[in-house]
A = this chain, B = another copy of it.
């Protein structure tokens, strides 16, 4: 997580669990207002986002066509960190075919009566699908930990269960990437205030959301521990500076594109039996 003269996406990867560096990971070391990949202007960044989005679309069409690989993008972050906006921004150029957005809200009684991975497992991407989790099973090592509903031992068990679950997904053909949208407490203040000051935005805000803000430091620590315990080579975590919305979208899009490029996706092979065929 050190800054190099020429920034790399990997500078924003959380050290892998088990690495000697993992213990030194501090969320506070990442500046939420950083824009390391900016072109220098907002317009330039927007154009760049469109370009990357179009490249993702090309890869997405191949993924959909070959119906073999599966891709999972997990988005987490504090309230107003921009999970919804990231989905809109990153996927604006992408064909909705084969794209599935899954929002996890407070568990229903049926969900709560099962293990915390049950509802998540049901929503994993199928062959040829790109699934985006808007919140995820990580809520279950954040909220209950901060509220004191689970103790440290249970939290560690859940980290291990998550690693096992994600490794199984990876081993069975799913490529996973996880992004924590990292905003500053000041930026959250501005965004919440903006929602309050605009009555048409009140639906995005509930007074109870302020409880999490009051526990800001506890949540930052819960995130830091969860990320360090579950960043793996098969499902790495990236911390995305998210005070700038456009730059945040650029970074998530770049990460997703790099991942999809790495899959070496190809259209299914031509069918020899169709060569020269003339339709009546």
Nearest Cβ distance between residue A73 and chain B, in whole angstroms?
12
1/0 contact string of A37-72 vs chain B (CB within 8 Å): 000000000000000000000000000011000000
| Cross-chain contact of A97 among B84, B202, B210, B273 (Cβ < 8 A) | B84
Other-chain contact of A202, B94, B96, B196, B270 (Cβ < 8 Å): B270
Interface centre among A199, A204, A207, A269, by most chain B C-beta atoms within 10 angstroms, is A199
Min Cβ gap A56→B in Å is 13
- On whether the beta carbons of A196 and B101 are closer than 8 Å, the reply is no
Nearest residue (CB) in B for A65 is: B203
Q: How far is the CA of A240 from the CA of B268 in the complex (A)?
A: 31
Indicate whether A200 reaches chain B with its CB closer than 8 angstroms.
yes
Chain B nearest CB from A153 CB (Å) reads 34
Scan residues 191-241 of chain A and give those whose CB is less than 8 A from a CB of chain B. Answer: 192-193, 196, 199-200, 202-205, 207, 210, 213
Is A279 on the interface with B (CB-CB < 8 A)?
yes
B99 engages A96 (CB within 8 Å)? yes
Known: A87-B96, A95-B88, A96-B91. A202 touches B101 (CB 8 A): no
Contact between B97 and A87, CB atoms less than 8 A apart: yes
Interfacial chain B residues near A274, Cβ < 8 Å: 196, 199, 202, 205, 207
A104 within 8 A of B: no
> Does A271 sit within 8 A of B, measured CB to CB?
yes
Chain A residues in the interface with B (C-beta under 8 A): 65-66, 84, 87-88, 91, 94-97, 99-101, 103, 134, 189, 192-193, 196, 199-200, 202-205, 207, 210, 213, 267-271, 273-274, 277-280
Contact B279 A192 (CB under 8 A): yes
Question: How far apart are the CA atoms of A196 and B272 in the complex, in Å?
Answer: 10
Q: Is the CB of B91 within 8 A of A101?
A: no
Task: Please report the C-alpha to C-alpha distance between residue A196 and residue B100 in the assembled complex, in whole angstroms.
Answer: 30
- For the complex, give the distance between the alpha carbons of A203 and B189 in Å: 50
In contact, B196 and A277 (Cβ under 8 angstroms): yes
B residues in contact with A192, CB < 8 Å: 279
Closest-by-CB residue of B relative to A276 is B196
Chain B residue at minimum C-beta to C-beta distance from A213? B279
Q: Is the CB of B97 within 8 A of A96?
A: no
Q: Please tell me if the beta carbons of B96 and A279 are within 8 angstroms of each other in the complex.
A: no
Q: Which residue of B lies closest to A190 (CB)?
A: B279
Q: Which of B65, B189, B202 lies in contact with A280, CB distance below 8 A? A: B189
Q: How far, in Å, is A183 (CB) from chain B's closest CB? A: 14
A203 with B278: CB separation less than 8 A:
no
